[in-house]
Amino acid sequence: MKYLSALAAAAFALLLWQAIVTLTGLPKFILPSPALVAETWWQNRALIAEHTWATALEVLIGLIIGAGLGVVTAIQLAASRTTRLLVQPLLVFTQALPVFALAPILTLWLGYGLWSKVAMAVLIIYFPVTSAFFDGLMRTPQGYLDLARTMQASPARILWHIRVPAALPALASGLRLAAVYAPIGAVIGEWVGASRGLGYLMLMANGRAKTDLMFAAMLTLGVFSILLHLVVAYLTRNLDKDSC
């Protein structure tokens, strides 16, 4: 049923888009029609596929590194009060900085290649994964903790055998959010400086007034983001069932 709803929503959006183009008579360089965008996508499918692969590589590497760092950080924060006092304020501070301000700095440090985009993806997903998993670790049902202490379990055993399993659903939620945010980080990095990727293709098309190509690249990015979210949701489905 949810897939039928998604298809119905997509069909409605396309009809609304076409209606706006028809009723307003806007020139195609302002708002191209869905049919023109589809035709442009097909004519440039090899070019779009090449740039999609570049963005996908940046996103996947960033997702793996960012999720891994987020998990490790969350466990450290939950296990150590000192770490919470020293690191947690820094994490909050980093979220107060606009990502667009960080992108030029990362490009300066890491260059115009792959790793500056990976770093942007890592930065944008690191906090959601850390925050979601840390919240789950700190919200372990009190009954589980009381029983473990009654049985004289060590703090390490309580952490790994009770708190971490109980927090897995929260981690799954953080990873699903990360799958949506990761492409944003990679594309922002491509906008600042790149020679490949869907973000670069959108900028190039916009600069040459090829709005139909820009829309084709943008819709490709949207479809990729949805597919990535579905894949991550599928891979993390068991985490929602593995809590204590």
Report pLDDT digits (tens) over 113-170.
889 999 999 989 999 999 999 999 999 888 888 788 888 788 888 888 889 999 999 9
Q: How far apart are CA 112 and CA 4, in angstroms?
A: 41
- Contacts by 37-43, CB closer than 8 A, 24 or more apart: 37/212, 37/215, 37/216, 37/219, 38/216, 39/212, 40/210, 40/212, 40/213, 40/215, 40/216, 41/216, 41/219, 41/220
**DSSP letter assigned to residue 113:** S
7, pLDDT greater than 90? no
pLDDT at 244 over 60: no
Task: Tell me what pLDDT residue 8 has.
Answer: 83
Average pLDDT over residues 5-32: 86
Look at residue 153 in the predicted model and tell me its pLDDT.
81
pLDDT of residue 140: 87
How far is 154 from 189, CA to CA, in rounded Å?
Answer: 45
Q: What is the arithmetic mean of pLDDT over 79-91?
A: 86
Looking at residue 1, its pLDDT comes to 62
DSSP string spanning 159-209?
IIIIIHHHHHHHHHHHHHHHHHHHHHHHHHHHHHS-SSSHHHHHHHHHHTT
SS3 state of residue 31: coil
Cβ contact 174:70 at 8 Å:
yes
- Reported as a single tens digit per residue, the pLDDT across 222-242 is 999 999 999 999 998 877 665
Provide the pLDDT for residue 242: 55
pLDDT at 6: 73
Q: Mean pLDDT of all residues in the chain? A: 88
Neighbours of 42 (CB within 10 A): 10
The region of weakest confidence among 49-53, 81-85, 96-100, 189-193 is 96-100
* Backbone φ/ψ region at 152: left (φ over 0), alpha (ψ -120 to 50), beta: left
CB atoms within 10 A of CB 106: 22
Mean pLDDT on 204-215: 91
21 has pLDDT over 80: yes
Helices (H), the chain: 2-24, 34-43, 45-79, 81-96, 99-110, 114-138, 142-150, 155-158, 164-192, 198-207, 211-235
For 16-30, 36-50, 83-97, 198-212, which range has the lowest pLDDT when averaged over its residues? 83-97
Q: Name the more confident of 80 and 61.
A: 61
Burial of 22 (0-12, 13-18, 19+ CB in 10 A): exposed
CATH 2.30.30.40, domain 33-240, yes or no: no
Domain ranges of the chain: 33-240
Q: What pTM value is reported for the model? A: 0.88
CA dist list (Å): 1 to 5, 21, 164, 232: 6, 30, 34, 20
25: region left, alpha or beta (phi > 0 left; psi from -120 to 50 alpha): left
